[in-house]
Amino acid sequence: MYTKPENLPGDPLWHAFKNGDKASFARIYKEYAKLLLNYGNKVTSDKTVIEDSIQDLFVELWQNRATISETTSIKFYLFRALRYKICRNIHQNEFLNFEDIDNTSEHFDHAASIENFFIGLEVQALQANHLKSSISQLPKRQQEAINLRYYHNFSNEEVAHIMGVNYQSACKFIYTALRTLKVTLRVSFSSFLIFLNFFSIYMD
Amino acid sequence: MDYTKFSVEDFAANESFIDWVNQSDPEAVKYWELYIAGHPEIAPVVEKARTLVINLKRTEDIPEDDTQIQSIWAKIEARVEHKQTRVSSNRTRIAILASVIIVVSAGIWWQLQTGDSSPAADLYTYQNKKDNYAEQINETGKPLRLQLADGSIVTLQDKSRLKYKSDYTNVTVREVYLLGDAFFEVTKDPYRPFIVHTNEVLTKVLGTSFRIQAPEGARNIIVSVKTGKVSVYTASEDAEADDTKEGVILLPNQRVKYERAEQLFDKELVEIPEVVNPAVKSTDFNFDNTPIRTVFKVLEDAYGVEILYNEELMEKCFITAPLGSEPLFEKLKIICQTIGANYEVIDTRIIINSSGC
């Protein structure tokens, strides 16, 4: 089961930063900024809110470094804090911005870039494209849970804590999403056959 | 625990199963491998679930470019150092937009300056293609990485140029025009092949990585494949007419040299074949009294090449050689030396000449 990070000895990098080491602070930012940006996109599509929230998060971390707690998982700490910041920043603009973070029908214009290392994984790579568009159709919370679980590799327990929901809800988000996404597998296996056909035409 | 009734989503949601797929927990790895071996009937469901878990990871994209990361950091530093209030991100967007306009217009300027002055026929053919395409000309002196709208990545070598569409959403074929030397990492899309035009030669793929060398006026056009499958063929200007396209299929570590004057395709191995099987580790090449049959099998699997030898004659050959990360041809040299044989490469195949051990 989940163990509170405070109960374990802390991460040395975090410890150094808490003691005022600026280089460690910069290293933490460098290591996690990209991951946080990726995650931020699942919480809201407002890029300004994401960037401002990351900015606020790190400035406040530095200002409060002496009083914040030790942690074994910097990543977990930052993700949870970022979500909190984003929600707060969205609610500040509540009257200007009607977009709810739980809005289901949003579509993102991520620059499409699948990991390009396909060696030996023909079928899987074919499916990734279909999967990607199916994911974007899912309710926002399910997208977020899937992203945290499978991309950022948090446990179900941690996903629940980051998203501020109970364990059962987090599991349900993930399970419901998988159930929908499973369908893309069938579609893709038939497209793999088309793919094979394509080459046999050229072989002939 | 009985998993035989588990569905794809049951497996994919199971935390220990995810640990197995990610190979992140040795206990889970051991457990699942044993369980699956003992229940072969669940293999199809397991494979689907595994694919789903892997793909959920792959669909994510982490931005390649660091400018956003750096600009946020600059604002954090400013606020930390000088106790400034928040600088909202809207302003940087304008700055990024401005820099894009500068780069693009510089490109157009270059084309106007040199467009008419070059007499090369290839340049002329290339210039006449697709006026509505965007163009990237690399004059930087170093390779230039370019991401196309479909997600494919092109690494354009110095003094090379590429014409591409800024939007590939409404097309059935993704086409680009290349003059020079480039490495392509193509995003898979089985419904919309990706075609690179290099003068009279077309390279067609569904998603893979490969390199094309086609400098203007060169005698040969070379296409080398790193991953996936590629078909290379010629097309005359009135392409619709000929159904019987001349061409070859290339696999990883193979390349084709198209001799333009003779219109010949020459298939061969790349100069330095790379390990194409991701499951292979360098320790797999540590041979200890290993039968030659196994040795060649390991090499074939790792590099995706074909090795021909007389199995009967070489039956009693055993190899002891602590090989590792040296290139394929270096490995072959060492192996052949220890048993008094030699090898040659004919087309894409490696032939071993030996009189036995």
Mean pLDDT computed over B144-171: 86
- Point out the least confidently predicted range of A142-146, B52-56, B119-123, B197-201: B119-123
Longest dimension (CA), chain B: 81
Mean pLDDT value across residues A53-74: 89
- Structural domain ending residue among the three candidates A46, A68, A103: A103
Domain that includes residue A40, residue range: 1-103
Q: Across residues B254-272, what is the average pLDDT?
A: 83
Percentage of chain B modeled with pLDDT above 90: 15
Backbone angles phi, psi at B196, to 5 degrees: -105, 120
> Taking CB atoms and an 8 Å limit, are B79 and A55 in contact across chains?
yes
* Partner A, chain B 96-155, Cβ-Cβ below 8 Å: 147, 149-151, 153
Candidates A30, A56, A153; nearest CB to B86: A56
- Whichever domain contains A145, its CATH number is 1.10.10.10
Highest mean pLDDT among A92-101, B4-13, B162-171, B276-285: B4-13
Copy the structure tokens of residue B104: 């693009």
User: Of the candidates B80, B150, B247, which has its C-beta nearest A59's C-beta?
Assistant: B80
Is A54 within a domain? yes
Q: How many whole angstroms separate alpha carbon A167 and alpha carbon B117? A: 69
* Shared-domain flag, residues A122 and A91: no
- Is residue B279 within 8 A of residue B320, CB to CB? The reply is no
Kindly report the CATH number assigned to the domain that includes residue A56.
1.10.1740.10
pLDDT reported for residue A109: 26
Above 50 in pLDDT, residue A165? yes
- Domain C-terminal end among A73, A103, A133: A103
Q: Is the pLDDT of residue A29 over 90?
A: yes
Is pLDDT of A116 > 50?
A: no
Least confident of A173-177, B82-86, B264-268, B324-328: B82-86
The pLDDT value recorded for residue B199 is 76
3-state DSSP assignment of residue A164 = coil
C-alpha dist (Å) from residue A197 to A127, A192, B53, B202, B231: 17, 9, 27, 20, 13
Same domain for A119 and A31, yes or no, is no
Q: Are residues A97 and A5 in the same domain?
A: yes
- Residue B351: pLDDT above 70? yes
Question: Is pLDDT of B102 > 50?
Answer: no
User: Checking DSSP bridges between strand B134-138 and strand B349-353, what pairing results, if any?
Assistant: unpaired
Q: Which residue of B has its CA nearest to A112?
A: B151
Residue B206 touches chain A, beta carbons under 8 Å: yes
Contact B56 A56 (CB under 8 A): no
Reported ipTM exceeds the 0.90 cut: no
Architecture of domain B282-353: 3-Layer(bab) Sandwich (3.55)
List the alpha helices (DSSP H) in chain A: 12-18, 22-43, 47-63, 74-92, 122-137, 140-146, 156-163, 167-203
Phi, psi of B263, deg, nearest 5: 55, 45
pLDDT digits (tens, 9 = 90+) for B142-152: 888 888 888 88
Number of domains in chain A: 2
CA distance A34 to A78: 12
Tens-digit pLDDT profile for residues B311-332 = 888 889 999 989 988 899 999 9
Asked, for residue A108, whether it belongs to a domain, the answer is no
Is residue B81 predicted with pLDDT exceeding 70? yes
User: How does residue A92 score in pLDDT terms, banded at 50, 70 and 90?
Assistant: low
Hey, are the CB atoms on B188 and A121 less than 8 Å from each other? Answer: no
Q: What is the DSSP letter of B166?
A: S
A47 and A127 share one domain: no
Scanning every residue of chain A, which has its alpha carbon at the shortest distance from the alpha carbon of B12? A178
Q: What is the pLDDT of residues B26-60, one digit of tens each?
A: 899 889 988 988 888 888 889 889 888 888 887 77
Burial class (CB in 10 A: 0-12, 13-18, 19+), A96: exposed
Q: Is residue B128's pLDDT more than 90? A: no
Query: How many A×B Cβ pairs under 8 Å?
Result: 172
Subunit contact A150:B61, Cβ cutoff 8 A: no
Q: Does residue A120 sit in the same domain as residue A74? A: no
Choosing among 3.50.50.60, 2.60.120.1440, 1.10.287.110, 3.20.20.70, the CATH entry for B135-269 is 2.60.120.1440
pLDDT: is A97 or B243 the higher one?
A: B243
Q: How far is the alpha carbon of A142 from chain B, nearest alpha carbon, in Å? A: 13
Q: Which has the minimum average pLDDT: A49-53, A83-87, B91-95, B290-294?
A: B91-95
Q: For position B238, what pLDDT does the model report?
A: 42
Residues in chain A: 204
| Nearest Cα residue in chain A from B84 | A59
- Of residues B5, B216, B55, the one with CA closest to residue B122: B216
For the beta carbon of residue B58, count every other beta carbon within 10 angstroms.
22
Contact B185 A116 (CB under 8 A): yes
Residue B356 pLDDT: 84
Both A118 and A159 in one domain: the answer is yes
Side-chain-side CA neighbours of B277 within 13 Å: the count stands at 14
**Domain assignment present for A82:** yes
B84 C-beta neighbours (distance < 10 Å), count: 12
> If you average pLDDT over residues B262-270, what whole number do you get?
83
Does B90 contact A at CB distance below 8 Å?
A: yes
What average pLDDT score do residues B76-91 get?
66
Lowest-confidence pick of A187-191, B91-95, B255-259: B91-95
Is pTM beyond 0.90 here?
A: no
CB contact under 8 A, B58 and A182: no
| Phi, psi torsion values for B283, nearest 5 degrees | -70, -15
More confident residue, B103 or B205: B205
Which of A150, A192, A198 is best to mutate for the B interface (most B CBs within 10 A)?
A: A150
* pLDDT value for A54: 95
Q: Which of A119, A185, A195 sits opposite B276 (nearest CB)?
A: A119
The helix/strand/coil state of B218 is: coil
Provide the residue ranges of all domains of chain B, joining segments of one domain with +: 8-58, 66-117, 135-269, 282-353
Sign of CA dihedral B205, B209, B214, B215: positive
Q: Do B55 and A131 touch (CB under 8 A)?
A: yes
**Are residues B49 and B12 in contact, defined by beta-carbon separation less than 8 angstroms?**
yes
Residue whose pair of structure tokens reads 């071996």 in the numeric block: B37
CB contact under 8 A, B68 and A37: yes
Examine the domain organization and report whether A124 and A98 are in the same domain: no
Q: Which two tokens stand for residue B144?
A: 């230039």
- Asked if the Cβ–Cβ distance from B59 to A58 is below 8 Å, we say no
Cα B276 to Cα B188: distance, rounded to the nearest angstrom = 18
Say if the Cβ atoms of B59 and A52 lie within 8 Å: no
Q: For B174-218, what is each residue's pLDDT tens digit? A: 889 888 888 888 887 767 788 888 877 888 876 677 788 877 777
Could you tell me if A11 and A90 lie in one domain? yes
Q: Which of A71, A103, A135 is the C-terminal boundary of a domain?
A: A103
